Amino acid sequence: MEKILLVDDDEGLLHFLSRFFQRKGYEVTACLNGRAAIEKINKESFDLILLDYKMPEFNGLDTLAEIKAVEVKTPVIIMTAYGTTDLTIETMKKGAYDYLVKPFDRKDLSRIVNDALAISRQMKEIVSFPDSTTVVPASMDRNSHQIIGNSKIMRDIYKLIGQIAEKDVSVLITGESGTGKELMARAIYHHSCRKDKPFIAINCAAIPETLFESELFGHERGAFTGAERTYIGKIERCDNGTLFLDEIGEMSPALQAKLLRVLQEGEIERLGGNRIIKVNVRVITATNKNLEKEVALGGFRKDLYWRLKVISIDIPPLRQRMGDAPDLVDYFLKKFSLEYNRPLCYLSGTALNKLTSYSWPGNVRELENCIRRAVLLSTGDVIAEGNLMIPDPKEEHVLQTLNREQLIERLKEKLEEIIPEILRLSKQNIHTNLIEVVEETLISKVLRECGNNQVQAARMLGISRNTLRHRLKKQLDKQEDDQET
């Protein structure tokens, strides 16, 4: 359970916030002044701190400075009745993650808190490499991740990360979807000189183009319709830290130019603002595209490409390092047996043979999900071949030979099986719920087929790219709403 510390001299507000967060499943501690908060922080750690700006004796900025001396990685949100630009700049300079203007909207409160807790989790996650004595760690927790693989190609990657992690240079990570590019980025961060500063990850393909500039660079109040408050962008929040931009090949040419300015000049301007803000961030990027080809075709800036690719790391697909598969399986079996409180499982011989003979187009992520599902479905401590539910190459071949009418018939057969189960579970909004599930699955599969190229995916789906981005954003919002409830 994540822990939130509330600090405010208003008892009524503390009561409201305590109940609000407790209902969402957080453990809440409340303090009426800054000194009491510092005493609490010296005794226990928190995942997030909400701190009032104006308090008697020991004000919010003084308390913030004390907190940052003790809890470097814990995000702090300042609560204030004075939402001025000067105050925003001052609190950010002192190390605040963001601010909330009283009286605040519950939706704004939830959004900012969810963002801050996500950053808190990312900063506290530990990424380690395999050593010569053991592959599977003796114990695991939610903040521990291990990169698995002792093949020569992976050992060479670990060696390269060790050489460049503390060198403050940009890194471009390439590889197919599911190979672990973000995990490698976190490994670089955790072994760098910036490990006590923010690590913020952004998927460039998941945010609609119309919102992306504001998300990265922030905006001033009144910058556009609906901009009711100043918004601190991800780059500004990441000052002195590490910014990870996944799917960088999806970034528009206009934003590429602005990112180049960050790398060259170390400065940004918020949307609708006229003040130059200095920033100091290390940028790590990742893509499953061939960016050199994109540069040649004019889809990606050549000058930005070379700025990003000071160091490049190419992660091989799982099929090229199948010698690591047994170690990965052992790791995931232990991880999910512990997570789901199941007896420690192991694979039967036929199951292991089936697993190592499959090509794993979804790479390590697909293998992880396969083992997760197998652990959940197993009835004992042995996972049989049938529990793996690995696609049968013969079945795939049959599907590939079907014509349009036969495929539609096959789809109808599947729906005949599934719809009675849906009706059994729910009698309301069946059409909407089913369409949402089908659309989400369809978009996901088409994006994978197109190598996450949104232009190609939109063309294949028969919709505009903006429509595709809007639907991806809608799916993301729904996931966040589900997490809140």
DSSP lists the bridge partners of residue 51 as 7, 78
Q: Which amino acid is at 90?
A: E
Q: Alpha helices, DSSP H only, in 94-217?
A: 106-124, 152-164, 181-190, 209-217
Considering 316, 340, 361, which residue would you say is the last residue of a domain? Answer: 316
In the chain, the number of structural domains is 4
Residues 89 and 73 in one domain: yes
Residues 334 and 295 in one domain: no
Residues 8 and 42 in one domain: yes
| Owning domain of residue 380 | 321-393
Q: Which amino acid is at 230?
A: T
Distance CA 161, CA 129 (A): 10
Instruction: Check which CATH number belongs to the domain holding 21 and give it.
Output: 3.40.50.2300
DSSP lists the bridge partners of residue 277 as 268
Distance CA 109, CA 14 (A): 14
| 3 state SS of 240 | coil
Provide the Cα torsion 23, 74, 217, 194; round to 10°: -150
- Asked whether residue 134 is assigned to any structural domain, the reply reads no
- Residuewise pLDDT in 10s, the chain (485 residues): 899 999 999 999 999 999 999 999 999 999 999 999 999 999 898 999 999 988 887 888 889 988 888 877 789 999 988 755 566 667 777 788 888 888 888 888 998 999 899 888 877 766 655 554 334 444 455 455 678 888 889 988 988 998 899 899 999 999 998 999 999 999 999 889 998 889 999 999 888 777 889 999 999 888 888 788 888 899 999 999 999 999 999 998 999 999 999 999 999 999 998 899 999 999 999 999 999 999 999 989 999 999 999 999 999 999 999 999 988 999 999 988 888 888 888 888 888 888 888 889 889 999 998 998 888 877 778 888 877 888 765 555 555 556 667 777 777 777 776 677 666 656 677 777 778 777 887 888 888 777 777 888 888 888 888 888 888 877 776 665 554 55
Residues 289 and 200 in one domain: yes
What are the residues whose beta carbons fall under 8 Å from the beta carbon of 273, sequence distance 6 or more?
A: 219, 220, 223
Residues 304 and 201 in one domain: yes
